[in-house]
Chains A and B, each alone.
Chain A
Amino acid sequence: MLASIGQFLLILSFTTALALTVLPMLGYARNNASLMQAGRPLAYLLFTLVLTTFVILVSLFVLQDFSVTYVWQHSSLALPLRYRITATWGAHEGSVLMWVTVQALWIAAVARFSQSLNLSQIARVLSVLGIIATGFLAFVLFASNPFEITNPAPLDGRDLNPLLQDFGMIIHPPLLYFGYVGLSVAFALAVAALIGGQIDEKWIRWSRRWTNLAWAFLTVGIILGSWWAYYELGWGGWWFWDPVENASFLPWLAGTALIHVQAVSERKNAFRGWTVLLAIIAFSLCVLGTFLVRSGSITSVHSFAADPFRGIFILALLAIYAGGALTLYAFRVNQLRSRDTINLNSKETLLLANSLIFITATFTILLGTLFPMIFEAVGKKISVGPPYFGLMFFLLMIPMAVLMPLGVQLKWHRDKLSEAIKALSPHFVVAAVATAVSYWGFDGLNLRATAGVFGGYWIASTSLAQWFTHAGQRNAGFVGMTVAHLGVAVFLFGMSMTEHKDTEKDVLMKPGQSIEVGGYDFTFQGVEDLQIENYRARQGTIEVTRDGESVVVLHPQKRVYPKQQQPMTEADIYPGFTQDIYVSLGEQINDQGAWAVRIYLKPFIRWMWFGGLMMMAGAVIALFSRRSLRLEQQQTDQVMKERLGLS
């Protein structure tokens, strides 16, 4: 019954989205104000309908309605309530519905917070967002309907994939979707501007804040994914260059390029075409990522059921969105000609360099991700792994780290390069000395770690100095930038240390046996069997001591979820400011209770995620820039005046 209501609301949502696509655009074409005004109410209606549909799906899980195919396939009677709720987006159908829900939320937010855009602009933006929502709703309806019924209903379900029965999984996908979908706002604005054939700084200023917010969500989503992989997969790694990870990283890289270029194009009549193109690329990569994950085109640890029809469907959506936008771009870009000339020695040039570095990184990683497909097309199998990605990314991030402080140092419009370099050179010495001290303090570092640590110090030292010597007000924009850039420094340091100075030991341990790793003594106390909620666990006890004093007792587990018959490794981690102690169980070796045990020491790994959180915080702080709030208010007043016919 409830499922039928859900099904009905889904159809209603689809028609509403279709109306949102057609009516405001028709109004724009015919210059009909009342049709254009239909955009906002339709956006609110769409959100209400889709949210209700989503809540119904959640309720079906909570009520354990196994007549619904999607519910019995991904939950069971024994599944605890919190995971019954999160199971809603634990597999394909529900996660696409969640995507649509988040999309509808963003559309409603755009409708609400767009007072500074005039009617013809907001009508176009909402209509383009409507196209995106229509496409994904069609995808839900025709290719991944979560409300399909199984008759007769099974008595019990198949249970949720144990990897997903975890806190990180509860919040990781929604945040990532907020980021993905958020980039659709910048995309919609770019397309709407191309339709109108003109773009001014007001538009870009407006879209810049949305892009910042989307980028912040994307950042925190990726961090959570990395954190989850670290403690849940039991390999102790935090980034694997897996195609699905790349799928979330690609829009982030393009988004990073975009927010930096927007900083220029909202101030000057420059890089307009480039801003529009980057906005199109960033969102297209989100859709491409979805395609890679959902079509099963690429072999990955993230296994979503592969279905060729779904693959074709998303490919068609990608062709319509990106193909349409790029065609429009090809016809219109030369109308968006930028009039201001850019001086070579200026912040603008460096920001352009930034976007070029990041877009090169984007395509380098895209190429690596697609390379196996290119080979497969000619009938060969290869896999591209961390050696390629690690090296390429390292090489590309060198110019980024070197140039970043220079970009901050140089003034807008025109500056003297030699003076900027002179101002920065003391920090080069500071960073070099700090690196040398670290090299000595950590008993030597390899080439990449040295470079990474140096980059961290270099950015930190210059950012702090620029903070204190900053002339004029430290407004939110400046604060946000500094926090984000310091985040890059913290990230670089943490990543270099954890990648190159970690200790990994795989050992065979008998009960009572001790082993020394990195100054700590690990004593294996054996393994006991436990029955917890919906799984059985074999839980090891490992006592960690240092110089005879107890540090912590760790309990790594090997879990078996009976329904899924999939053994799970649950690592136990003792987190620390400068180091994580990470223990996980391998396999039982013999009947005498001996186990293969993995003991990892991960120095400064938390710094890496903390650095990422700082980048996110920076983007959020910048939203509250008084300058942009004031300018936005002025725009709003202007729009209001026009509407009342005062000007």
Chain B
Amino acid sequence: MKKILFAVIPLLVFFGLLLLLFINLSTHSEVLPSPLIGKPVPAFEHPTLYTGELKTQEDFLGQPWLLNVFGSWCPSCQVEHPLVTALANSKQIKVVGLNWKDEPQDAKAWLQRWGDPYHEILVDYEGDTAINLGVYGAPETFLIDANGVIVHKISGVLTPQNIQEQIIPKIKEMQP
């Protein structure tokens, strides 16, 4: 009995492993889900970059919008900037920038140099809202619906691919 056990155990272990690997092939995804999806945007009050006027989440109710976390210190933000610009210019959605942990004059210089496509820019100097949003690193982009509920999140740079495959379809879904 013991002998048979020793002979068969390696095979059984291996088949367990094979099953796991097989199941994983179909369930695996690279996407780190955000627990905030389906929840309202955390409450905030930030000044805008140019006028200093204070805005809260309630000022954005009524239409879907895209919140793009960026900073002048972030090289990847520069990489995705042309795409943010294209998206904003296409008028498909309101694009709001969240200027994260940045000196206002640096941010202004950066926007002057690379262009300012944002419909509105909020200054999160202390990084509070970024923490509430669970921002892992800039850039990150949140898609928020007309009721202020987070619909989708992209960690890392926007690419033509994730805009086409994720953002645009979600925007279309939200349109009545």
Contact = CB atoms under 8 A, between A and B. Distances in A.
Contacts of A567: 75
A335 to B, nearest CB: 10
Nearest to B74: A587
Contacts of B6: 273, 333
A406 interface: no
Contacts of A315: 18, 21-22, 25
Interface string A315-351: 1001100110011011101100000000000000000
Interface string A299-318: 10000001010011001001
A381 B33 CA distance: 9
A297 B75 contact: no
A376 B14 contact: no
Contacts of A273: 6
A373 B15 contact: no
Interface string A585-622: 00111110000000000000000000000000000000
A296 interface: yes
Nearest to B10: A326
Contact of B28 (A288, A296, A318, A319): A296
Interface residues of A, number: 42
A373 B106 contact: no
A581 interface: no
Contact of B7 (A281, A329, A587): A329
B72 to A, nearest CB: 9
Contacts of B18: 315, 318-319, 323
Given A565-B79, A587-B73, A591-B106, A326 B14 contact: yes
Chain A residues touching B, majority SS:
helix
B77 to A, nearest CB: 12
B24 A373 contact: yes
Given A311-B25, A376-B28, A334 B3 contact: yes
B131 interface: no
Interface in B19-52: 20-25, 27-28, 30, 32-33
A289 B92 CA distance: 45
A45 to B, nearest CB: 33
A226 B127 CA distance: 36
Contacts of A312: 25
B15 to A, nearest CB: 7
Contacts of B25: 295, 297, 308, 311-312, 315
Given A295-B25, A589-B73, A381 B20 contact: no
B7 A299 contact: no
A484 to B, nearest CB: 28
Contacts of A308: 25
A590 B106 contact: yes
A224 B84 CA distance: 41
Nearest to A566: B79
Contact of A291 (B7, B14, B21, B27): B21
B86 interface: no
In the A-B complex, the 5 residue pairs with the closest CB atoms: A326-B11, A330-B7, A373-B24, A333-B7, A377-B23
10 contacts: A288-B17, A296-B28, A315-B18, A315-B25, A322-B14, A323-B15, A330-B7, A333-B6, A374-B20, A376-B27
Given A327-B11, A333-B6, 5 more contacts: A329-B11, A330-B10, A333-B7, A379-B27, A565-B79
